[in-house]
Structure 1
């Protein structure tokens, strides 16, 4: 049994935002993704709203509540007061905290749990008090997992960007998988669940899943959206579901 697939809608929203028009529809393509086998939808609402807009959040919440009650809404972001207000209103099943500067184009590193555990603990407790599962973005570093668990989070999301960057170097890919696998082992040993995300593809998912068979969830946006331009959203989701180890 492989990980569940959460489809990140940011790239779709960024394409929509190129024009003052309602298409491509973020919720419309989210609906297709969920109908085609995705377990959930992920968004990262940044302060400048350059892709997902704050106004998208209640619409995605409504889509899941009314049409896909078994699906999950995952909202990721830096825990500013503005972000905490957004997730309080949107009631996501999962909140993924990332240490991004608001100006970053995309998430590119995990938390330094040893240095930032005291900062994260009260935020994690607050979010869990709202009934959400809390996941924290993490680098491939086994030595950080004990400190990650000390924050009280439920899961870590392994940052797989360096693994995705090895697409033309099989030896480097094996080294990155080994680091990710060792980090997952350390997370499991400390009682944490493990998600993964960033630059995952149909090609590089199966080796990752083989090394981390207890991987709970993968969140995929850029590669999935790129494939959707070629295969369509429904078939692309089915391809990624199969790459996760499920029939679809």
Structure 2
């Protein structure tokens, strides 16, 4: 099974927002990564618009709909009313619900699904009614996937940050084993598996070798850092190789 690469464009937007200028263009960079072979793009619009703006979401939805109908759009965010309406208006292929506080710098933990039933149940129903695939951001815990399946999610996205931050150490090996059993539990619950956070060219091969049935990885910070050295098109190519996917010469 090929693992799809979705490029998170948040850091491109963050750089753009440092100046009152339209560049680097989020839409323009989306074209670069999609033309280079990325399977889709991811954005995480936050209420303060510190990186991705609401207008970016509309622009990217139009781009994928009109120019890249075979590519996927994944929108991440906390499922409050404003975010849910933004997603429904733009109709991506996938929404990923994350339990972020608005003040968080980045996602750093997964859902307590049972404890968040009142937060998640109605937004999940609305997404499924609209034909939008639902993924829930979760920690490496094999007890969680059955809860995700029960509440109506289609996928889980395993939070890989602890593994990425300790790769190459015994602690990193422990996280790898925990992700492995979580992925197996997800498959047993009938869920598809996504993954993301602090995945890099260095740690992706070990991740792919040890964690089964991963359908998609969402990568932003690492691939953007590498793109500063090699350009986004070459970075996409290298990440596809690290995923074990075929690339054109």
Structures share fold, TM-score greater than 0.5: yes
Shift of 1:89: 1.1
Equivalence for 2:125: 125
Tell me, yes or no, if structure 1 residue 244 matches structure 2 residue 243: yes
Preserved CA contact (<8 Å) 2:183 2:212: no
Preserved CA contact (<8 Å) 1:7 1:38: yes
Superposition pairs of residues 1-248 of structure 1, within 5 angstroms: 1-167=1-167, 169-248=168-247
Preserved CA contact (<8 Å) 2:159 2:195: yes
TM-score between both structures, scaled by the size of structure 2? 0.97
TM-score between both structures, scaled by the size of structure 1? 0.97
Shift of 1:119: 3.4
What is the CA–CA distance in structure 2 between the aligned matches of 1:182 and 1:117, rounded to whole Å? 24
Shift of 1:24: 0.6
What SS is found at the alignment partner of 1:115? coil
Q: Which runs of 5+ in 1 are unaligned?
A: none
Higher RCO structure (Cα 8 Å, ≥6 apart): 1
Shift of 1:113: 1.5
Preserved CA contact (<8 Å) 1:117 1:150: no
Preserved CA contact (<8 Å) 1:157 1:195: yes
Shift of 1:118: 4.4
Shift of 1:2: 3.5
Q: Which runs of 5+ in 2 are unaligned?
A: none
Shift of 1:195: 0.1
Preserved CA contact (<8 Å) 2:176 2:211: no
What is the CA–CA distance in structure 2 between the aligned matches of 1:186 and 1:11, rounded to whole Å? 32
Shift of 1:86: 0.7
Map Cα deviations across residues 118-149 of structure 1 (whole Å, 9 max, x no partner). 43222211111111000000000111221111
